[in-house]
Amino acid sequence: NEGNEYFRERDYGRAAAAYSEGLRRRCGDAGLDAVLLTNRAAAHFHLGNYRSALNDAIQAKKLKPTHLKAIIRGALCHMELKNFVEAIAWCEEGLQIDSKEKKLVEMRAKADKLKGKELEGTFLGTQTDFCSRRKCQGRAVMGSDLLCKRNIKLVLEPSDEEEEVSDGLAEISLDGFHSDSATGAKVHLDADGSLSWPVLFLYPEHEQTDFTVAFHENSRFIDHLMVMFAELPPWDLEKKYLPDNLELYFEDEEREEMYEVNPEHTLLQVLQHERYFVKAGTPTVLVFAKRSPFSKKYFSGKKVHRL
């Protein structure tokens, strides 16, 4: 009930935390746990944590295979992740339960239409600081101004065709800094004039990743960690990945140096660091468990700038 109240208020972070607390009670009621997982999937979905949402939908479906809301949520996640074949499979599974479910019928048709299409949107241009290029026009110029005012340095991926540079940059807009090939997520401008970014979290020790589609520039990293690790991930067998037991870093590839990130800092504060360069429109952060043998080995021989 507490989670539902937060959800109605669109406080999806607290809603996810409340549903997680409900799951930790281990009530033994598979139906109730399926509802909690499906609700938390919805909260994660609205936060842009599509992979976490999908994991919850999968678990909910295991507990209650006929739970239509979990199936719909899982199909929606696959659509956002551009897994169209999987989305179709989930839709068909749901339609076997209710052949007239409008959301599934529409989603099935849309997924079928998009299946097999090449959805890559690569940048054209040499590797450069976005703010230094002024050949682009229209909203692309407006986008560069937004980044320059924030002192954010965007690095574009190199192109094989140097002559295509200006044309490629002209296609970049506020909603299209990032390539669709990996996730389909893009930087977008909110109504209040703030930017929300797709952010990739890397876990080198376990070769795992998390992807947040819409990380508001004024949100703190700790707020996202509290939601992402409200429950231990299945790959964390040693139970080390707790919000207060994590260290965040970004890598300066040019100098081959590592910088520790303060979890209390906002995304904008990190992006404004003099040595942070956003590659292909997606900020990336590395996550380690504190004082782990792996992190000690990983940082051995590297210059690390600590907090």
Residue at 171 is within a domain: no
pLDDT at 116: 56
pLDDT at 156: 65
Q: Is the pLDDT of residue 262 over 70?
A: yes
pLDDT tens digit sequence for 85-126: 899 999 999 999 999 999 999 999 998 888 755 333 323 333
Residue at 160 is within a domain: no
Q: Measured in Å, how far apart are the chain's first and last C-alpha atoms?
A: 40
Residues 6+ apart with CB under 8 A from 24: 231
Domain tally for the chain?
2
* Shared-domain flag, residues 99 and 196: no
Give me the residue label for tokens 């952060």.
Answer: 285
* Shared-domain flag, residues 105 and 197: no
Cα distance between residue 234 and residue 25, in whole Å:
18
pLDDT, mean of residues 128-152? 56
> Which residue range forms the structural domain that includes residue 247?
188-306
Domain end position, chosen among 96, 123, 150: 123
pLDDT at 286: 96
pLDDT tens digit sequence for 159-202: 444 333 333 322 223 333 333 334 456 787 776 788 888 899 99
pLDDT at 187: 80
* Shared-domain flag, residues 81 and 194: no
- What's the chain's Rg over C-alpha atoms? 21
pLDDT tens digit sequence for 275-293: 999 987 889 999 999 999 9
Look up residue 27 and give its amino acid: C
Q: What is the mean pLDDT of the chain?
A: 80
